[in-house]
Structure 1
Amino acid sequence: MLCFTSDSPWTTSLVATIGGGLFGFDISSVSAFIGTQQYKDYFHNPNSNLQGGITASMSAGSFAGSLVAGYLSDRLGRRKAIQIGAVIWMFGSIVQATTTSVVQLVIGRVINGICVGITSSQVPVYLAEVSPKHIRGRIVGLQQWAITWGIMIMFYVSYACSKLDGPKSFRLAWALQMIPAILLFFGLSICPESPRWLYCHGEIEQARIVLANVHAGGDMDSRIVRDELSEMREAAQIRVRSASVSLFDLFRPAILRTTFTGVFAQIWQQLTGMNVMMYYIVYVFDMAGKTGNNNLIASSIQYVINVVMTVPGLFLIDHVGRRPMFLVGSTVMMILLFTVAGLLSSHGHFVPSGLAENTNVRWVVSGSASTGVIVCTYLFVATFASTWGPAGWIYISEIFPLEYRARGNGICGSANWIFNFALAYFVPPAFHNILWKTYLLFGVFCFAMTVHVFFFFPETRNKSLEAISVLFSGKISAWKSKNYGNTFDQTIKQDNTETWQYAARTERVSAEKPDIQVGTKDVP
């Protein structure tokens, strides 16, 4: 029998998404201190390149963690992989809390990053495989909400600790980061393993128990349980036929389009410029004329907005779909970024030696234009939080067939972290050298992602995890994919190609089993 007491997918998600909270903790553990005198004095006032390296070091570790995440998850199980990440986080937090140099701080952040690389890619996989389809988007989207909570909580913890004198201000804050990792490690012991992972590793009866408890209130004979098991049986047969999937297999022609789309979903999420607002919000408000305590208070407001505005995104994701959220989000963010660039270029002025409070900032705006920059910044955060924030993570958890899913999420996560690293390092020198044009650059990225999403990102709402791969076969244009699930049965009858035969097998068992019908409409 399985050893767990939680049968609710919501309880499981609340525990597992603490892994997302760790990512948020790490983001604001630096952003809250880079403007404080204690931090600048102890680390000898890091210049733009050094601060970029300190901030980006977490992303370097995350890249490494995301590469091994798929292997750990497939070999040991989704829960154990996440628990390993929690242990790594505890160790990294100890290294940071006892830091005596920039080198030790960077090492600690790299270690914490390894944890984030594991949890950020495998928590969505775990939640997607545990949760019922009709609430899957909201369940997986809680990962993004947890990130926003982690950012906000750690920012206020760090703000409170910044009132302490000397290095104990940031050391205490960095030590407190261990608490959520401890909760994650022990909390997962009461949560079920992924039923799909159990089934594919021969533990069929345990998979059936998990499905019955989580999806059908313990009813082993439920139609829902039978349907899910049938899907898993067919998916497991496919998995056996491609038993040893490697990272290189993700770039074979049959799966290349899926991999390409998933990787770019994560790349574009980074290139929206959101992490400029997360890592370097203090710099942004320095440009807008906010200094000292006023800067930290103004910065904290956007973290609250991030938490609050993620909620409507979680509700909309399963009602309007993924594509509309991508397209609307990137379009609105593009407009806001161009607006900020315009305000800064037309109303700002150059400060050759940089601000006294922050020599990395050499462009300042004041008056009503300053207010406009702050308002646009808040609106930008609200837009990202309700669109690309949750949709980016949900999308990649859905698009890969079972045999590729863990490694596919791992490679997508690694792409996220490569660009996270690059941007974390790039932004301080960008503010120092190209000034307001930094916003112009991110606005262009938002335009490019809007075009890419429209032509190449199929809709995945209300489609089974195993059948979504059909949408990447090239038979259906991305902009025509919205109603695909509603006409699935008819499409199968009209097309006898091998692709559609594969879709029929993975979507439901064949007509030889009369109690289980082809299509998605019968699944609640």
Structure 2
Amino acid sequence: MPSLKTIFSAIFLAVGGFLFGYDSGIITSTISLATFKEYFTNPNSTVTGGIVSAFQGGAILGTLINMLAADWLGRKKTVFAGSCVSVLGCALQAGSVNMAMLIIGRFIAGAAVGMLTSTIPLYAAELSEQKWRGALSGLLQWMLSWGFLVAQWLGYGCSFVSTEFSWRFPLAFQIVPGLILVGGIWFLDESPRWLMEKDRHEEAMVVLKNIRKGTSQEALDLEFREIRDVIAADRAVGNTSWKLILTKASWRKRLILGCAIQAFGPLSGINVINYYGPRIYAILGINDQTSLMIIGISGALSIVYCSIGLYMNDKIGRIKPLIVSAAMLGA
């Protein structure tokens, strides 16, 4: 079993996944509420699409920012920065007095999620032992499912309220996981790999001893040397340009695989169903509250499937579960 410190660190970092899932899910109920439509004078489909897509656009920006920030600031400071940005964006949404303020808040919150979700799996993996790396880094997706579930059922519950509280409170609740990350990230250790990349070897060894309590000095030295050797091999390759990545077959293959796996899920159309579920179900004659309940049940099932995936990741590898889940998605 991994050490309690490692488990705690992975679970805490997965709060970022909860934030992503909640941010993504809460807009479903928000834009379908009569109180929301009344306050913003019945926004048309174009405006509603802007509310939804602003979050995705912000996430793209946040990911691009993270490509520089994670290696420059380190993992802890990047998570802290992303969490602060999230609190700002969520506060703007909850206090929105006009549509522009809401959309800007969604964009800022999306940028925060882009920063967090591209840093946290890397951070968790670098803190984890190899044997448990798949499960511990996969906690992000597991907590994402929990965030989506809480968002759906909180939105469903608030749909029975006939005041602005019905949409302002669910949007304000997004601030909670952000504040948890802001306050708690400083209790975690920095990534030993990042420390070694910055030639802070003594600090890296202190971190390894802290997160691998109960491990023999021989095992610690072996892990230390493995990290050092990988970094040395990376440095031996030298600076890698985008041109080289795209022209070298082995690297191009890895790039395509990584991007394709990430893209195929959203391209299946699941986000459209999640975001616009009430409108889709309305075509079938199902009212908004019932449709929110249906989406909430779907969210509960996703936790079950994600739990199975966490268990299987380190048991039978990554490829077989991916093939099975892709086949089920296609079906």
TM over 0.5: yes
CA shift for structure 1 position 289: 3.1
More relative contact order, 1 or 2 (CA 8 Å, 6+ apart):
2
2:278–2:288: 8 Å Cα contact kept in structure 1?
no
3-state SS in 2 of match to 1:222: helix
Paired residue type of 1:231:
E
3-state SS in 2 of match to 1:319: helix
Paired residue type of 1:314:
L
3-state SS in 2 of match to 1:166: coil
Matching residue of 1:231: 226
CA shift for structure 1 position 218: 5.3
**Matched-pair identity in %:** 29
Q: TM-score, length-normalised on structure 1?
A: 0.59
Paired residue type of 1:202:
D
After superposition, the Cα gap between the structure-2 partners of 1:7 and 1:295, relative to the gap in structure 1 and judged at 3 Å, is: closer
Matches within 5 A, 1:50-449: 50-217=47-214, 219=216, 221-223=217-219, 225-241=220-236, 244=239, 250-251=245-246, 253=248, 255-335=251-331
Matching residue of 1:459: none
After superposition, the Cα gap between the structure-2 partners of 1:194 and 1:63, relative to the gap in structure 1 and judged at 3 Å, is: same
CA shift for structure 1 position 250: 4.4
Rounded to whole Å, the distance in 1 between the matches of 2:295 and 2:61 is 30
Paired residue type of 1:80:
K
CA shift for structure 1 position 154: 2.0
User: What whole-Å deviation, never above 9, does each CA across 1:2-51 have from its counterpart, x for those lacking one?
Assistant: xxxx9622100111111111111111221012222112222233333322
The structure that has the greater radius of gyration is 1
CA shift for structure 1 position 246: 6.2
User: What whole-Å deviation, never above 9, does each CA across 1:285-342 have from its counterpart, x for those lacking one?
Assistant: 324432143222222111111223211111011122221122222222222xxxxxxx
Rounded to whole Å, the distance in 2 between the matches of 1:169 and 1:185 is 27
Matching residue of 2:40: 43
CA shift for structure 1 position 53: 1.8
Structure number with the higher helix fraction is 2
Rounded to whole Å, the distance in 2 between the matches of 1:261 and 1:34 is 35
Rounded to whole Å, the distance in 1 between the matches of 2:98 and 2:315 is 50
Structure 2 segments unaligned to the other structure (5+ residues): none
Rounded to whole Å, the distance in 1 between the matches of 2:141 and 2:215 is 30
Paired residue type of 2:172:
A
Rounded to whole Å, the distance in 2 between the matches of 1:286 and 1:133 is 48
After superposition, the Cα gap between the structure-2 partners of 1:79 and 1:301, relative to the gap in structure 1 and judged at 3 Å, is: same
Structure 1 segments unaligned to the other structure (5+ residues): 1-5, 336-524
Aligned length: 328
Matching residue of 2:22: 25
2:57–2:107: 8 Å Cα contact kept in structure 1?
yes
3-state SS in 2 of match to 1:290: coil
1:70–1:122: 8 Å Cα contact kept in structure 2?
no
1:7–1:213: 8 Å Cα contact kept in structure 2?
no
After superposition, the Cα gap between the structure-2 partners of 1:93 and 1:247, relative to the gap in structure 1 and judged at 3 Å, is: farther
CA shift for structure 1 position 226: 2.2
Rounded to whole Å, the distance in 1 between the matches of 2:115 and 2:297 is 29
CA shift for structure 1 position 180: 0.7
3-state SS in 1 of match to 2:55: helix
